[in-house]
Amino acid sequence: ERVPVELSKGVNGLEKIILRETRGSSAEVYLYGGHVTSWKNEHGEELLFVSSKALFKPPKAIRGGIPICFPQFSNHGPLEPHGFARNKLWSIDTDPPAFPTNSSSKAYIDLILKPSEEDMKIWPHSYEFRLRVALGPGGDLMLTSRIRNTNTDGKPFTFTFAYHTYFSVSDISEVRVEGLETLDYLDNLLNKQRFTEQGDAITFEAEVDKIYLSTPTKIAILDHEKKRTLVLRKDGLPDAGEVDIANSGSICMYEMQKNIPPKMVWNPWDKKAKAMADFGDDEYKHMLCVEAAAIEKPITLKPGEEWRGRQELSAVPSSYCSGQLDPRRVLQGS
């Protein structure tokens, strides 16, 4: 019988938690950074990308997997890029508050991060950041973040946030992203100028670094070579509701929700990959970052208030229909 939760030693002796579902899927979470570094389906296929040159040496962040960006995304503020949560040692939360769940799975772990005196010097706020990482019975990977303002001086605080997910893909030139078409985006390669996506899907032929605004709660990453679709859902975010898939011929259409935090799409391509010490020169071909994030409209919490943001990832077999995703296959796998 599979042990659903196991504490183990990872790279360089860093502690990690291994989650296993009864059908064979698994995930690994490092206490360093509260960082998910592996997510495998029931066939043992890795669905996340971690660079072969990732250092696993604090205080350097782990390159790949799902880094947690808090309290700042990228360089959108005075702190170090992507904030400090991904560089801190988290603790196992042995007494988490009540947590509503639809799943009977026992493959989950609760982590918690609180500020140190060093943290308070650079970001003078008291908080509790609780993170649950869970595997569903079908192998879905779910991350739920709960951030509470515990300041005793009456002061609110403001932050930006992202699940900086690195997906493993067969070949970036064979991948397309659906669900972001016709949306406005900020292009970080052009000084954050605002544009509208014109294509029927996003494909990749050069470096991409875009922030898509007011995104749907569900998008799909189609990997033609692997005949696999990675589906990203997010909910529990400000004004996010349920989202329905509408079947219109062979086109996968998404009901759009307003005021939903944006998604970031990134691939460094060849020149930037070679300039990154913890990233292989050709590894850009096999990864794609699609990030559920709260960037454009930062989140403000008053003392005692809590924010919750949830991301659910699933992998389903897919076929192409008129060059696009066959929505029936996504429905069957959702």
Average pLDDT over residues 87-116: 88
Question: CA-CA distance, 7 to 29, in Å (whole number)?
Answer: 10
Identity of the amino acid at 70 = F
Q: How many helices (H) and strands (E) does the chain have?
A: 3, 25
Average pLDDT over residues 250-261: 26
Assess whether the previous peptide bond of 59 is cis (omega < 30° from 0).
Answer: yes
Number of neighbouring beta carbons within 10 Å of residue 224: 18
3 state DSSP class of 150: coil
Examine the pLDDT at 55 and tell me if it is beyond 80.
Answer: yes
Of 103-107, 143-147, 244-248, 322-326, where does the model show the most confidence?
Answer: 143-147
Specify the pLDDT at position 247: 19
Question: CA-CA distance, 114 to 128, in Å (whole number)?
Answer: 5
Examine the pLDDT at 324 and tell me if it is beyond 70.
Answer: no
pLDDT in tens, 138-173: 999 999 999 999 999 999 999 999 999 999 999 998
Specify the pLDDT at position 144: 94
The β-bridge relationship of strands 26-30 and 251-254 is unpaired
Q: Which residues contact 305 (CB under 8 A, 6 or more apart)?
A: 148, 149
Number of neighbouring beta carbons within 10 Å of residue 247: 13
- Active-site pick, 82, 125, 164, 224: 164
Specify the pLDDT at position 122: 93
Examine the pLDDT at 97 and tell me if it is beyond 90.
Answer: no
3 state DSSP class of 222: strand
Residue 277 burial (CB < 10 Å; 0-12/13-18/19+)? exposed
Mean pLDDT of the chain: 82
- Tokens standing for residue 75: 């360089």
pLDDT in tens, 182-200: 888 888 889 889 999 887 8
Question: CA-CA distance, 70 to 205, in Å (whole number)?
Answer: 30
Is 15 in the active site? no
Considering the four listed CATH numbers 3.30.470.10, 1.10.3470.10, 2.70.98.10, 3.40.50.300, the one that applies to the domain covering 5-241+258-319 is 2.70.98.10
The β-bridge relationship of strands 5-9 and 15-20 is antiparallel
Listed residue (36, 48, 43) closest to 21, CA to CA: 43
Examine the pLDDT at 279 and tell me if it is beyond 90.
Answer: no
3 state DSSP class of 53: coil
Q: Which residues contact 290 (CB under 8 A, 6 or more apart)?
A: 165, 167, 177, 219, 221, 232, 263, 264, 265
Is 21 in the active site? no
| Residue recorded with tokens 């010490």 | 277
State the pTM of this model.
0.83
Examine the pLDDT at 305 and tell me if it is beyond 90.
Answer: yes
Identity of the amino acid at 326 = D
Q: What percent of the chain has pLDDT over 90?
A: 51
Examine the pLDDT at 258 and tell me if it is beyond 60.
Answer: no
Specify the pLDDT at position 102: 61
- Active-site pick, 21, 28, 283, 291: 291
